[in-house]
Structure 1
């Protein structure tokens, strides 16, 4: 029986793709580098720190990791603060409220930086529903390394056999399975070719889930 649900954020709770794409295109242009769709899709599910590390290595960038990270945040929040395209994934807030009202423990485990998580949760009034929020910036390795989900399970207060993870990215689903946790793969219209085949269950619409369905999923 399920007692806790661990949510990824980008692509599961909120569609940040328009904001991220706009910000990254400007950032990459400033750096004078060309990041193909194939390279970009491989970044999905990675922490900002790990993405910057990959960019520095692939393109032999001279700037320090810290400088590049702060510059990338400047572009991101410029886009975030002015975007009218930023929106929650359809149906996800209804699911979150349904789970919360029925006593389910909710934890966020996102590769996003803490400042990005806080901005999203404030903008969409999500703070009260989650027991805690975990950021990938606190871990040395990004998803598909399972460390963030191992910690998320610990924070729920329940054994992993009573937890599920909702993920949309190839790297995130690999991390969930690596942590030994039942994983629901969300395959939405903004999934950008992510592979959900390793998920225990795949959905295409959050209307397919509710408290009763999830409670008895395992």
Structure 2
């Protein structure tokens, strides 16, 4: 029986991708580099630190990674604070409340920085539902490496066989499966150029999930 649901955040709980896209592209212009749509899509599920480690090597950027990360973070925060039309994804709040009400433990495992996670959680009052929040910035390697999900299960004190992950990215799905965790791929119109072929189940709307369905999802 499933005891813990591990949620990704960007593209699963809230669509901050337009804000990230704006911040990254502003920064790329400042740096004078061109990123193809294919390369940008491959960033999905990676931490900002890992992305800029890759870009520093790829484009021989003179700035140190910490400076690059902080510049992008400042651009994101400025855009985030001024963006009024930012909402939780359709149906996800009802699912979170349903799971929490029925005693399911919820954990967040996001590649976003802790400061960004807290911004989202404060804006939408989500801390009341989640037992733990895990940031990808605390790990040397990003998804598809399984470390973030392994740590989420460890914090939840739940065997991986009794967890599920809800993810919207290729890298996230691969990370969940590498951790030995059942993965639900959320294929929404917000998620571009992602591969859900390795997911155990694929949904297009959160109304396809509920506490009753999830608790025995591996038996279906």
* Matches of 1:74 and 1:42, distance apart in 2: 22
Kept in 2: contact 1:143–1:175 (CA 8 A): yes
Instruction: Say which SS state the counterpart of residue 128 (structure 2) adopts.
Output: helix
Q: Quote how far apart the aligned CAs of 1:23 are.
A: 1.1
In structure 1, the partner of 2:139 is 139
In structure 2, the partner of 1:197 is 197
In structure 1, the partner of 2:177 is 177
Q: Quote how far apart the aligned CAs of 1:66 are.
A: 1.0
In structure 2, the partner of 1:70 is 70
Instruction: Say which SS state the counterpart of residue 191 (structure 2) adopts.
Output: coil
Structural RMSD (CA): 0.7
Q: For residues 10-68 of structure 1, what are the alpha-carbon distances to aligned partners after superposition, in whole Å with 9 as ceiling and x for unaligned?
A: 01111011111111111111111111111100100001110110111111100011111
In structure 2, the partner of 1:7 is 7
Q: Quote how far apart the aligned CAs of 1:85 are.
A: 3.0
In structure 2, the partner of 1:108 is 108
* Matches of 1:66 and 1:157, distance apart in 2: 33
Q: Quote how far apart the aligned CAs of 1:175 are.
A: 0.2
In structure 2, the partner of 1:22 is 22
Instruction: Say which SS state the counterpart of residue 197 (structure 1) adopts.
Output: coil
* Matches of 1:161 and 1:73, distance apart in 2: 36
Kept in 2: contact 1:19–1:86 (CA 8 A): no
Give TM-score, length-normalised by structure 1.
0.98
26-35 or 198-207, which deviates more: 26-35
Instruction: Say which SS state the counterpart of residue 76 (structure 1) adopts.
Output: helix
Give TM-score, length-normalised by structure 2.
0.98
* Matches of 1:58 and 1:87, distance apart in 2: 35
- Unpaired segments of 5 or more residues in structure 1? none
* Matches of 2:182 and 2:32, distance apart in 1: 42
In structure 2, the partner of 1:59 is 59
Q: Quote how far apart the aligned CAs of 1:84 are.
A: 2.3
* Matches of 1:61 and 1:168, distance apart in 2: 30
Kept in 2: contact 1:182–1:200 (CA 8 A): yes
Kept in 2: contact 1:18–1:85 (CA 8 A): no
* Matches of 2:195 and 2:85, distance apart in 1: 25
Instruction: Say which SS state the counterpart of residue 63 (structure 1) adopts.
Output: coil
- Unpaired segments of 5 or more residues in structure 2? none
In structure 2, the partner of 1:160 is 160
Q: How many residues align?
A: 218
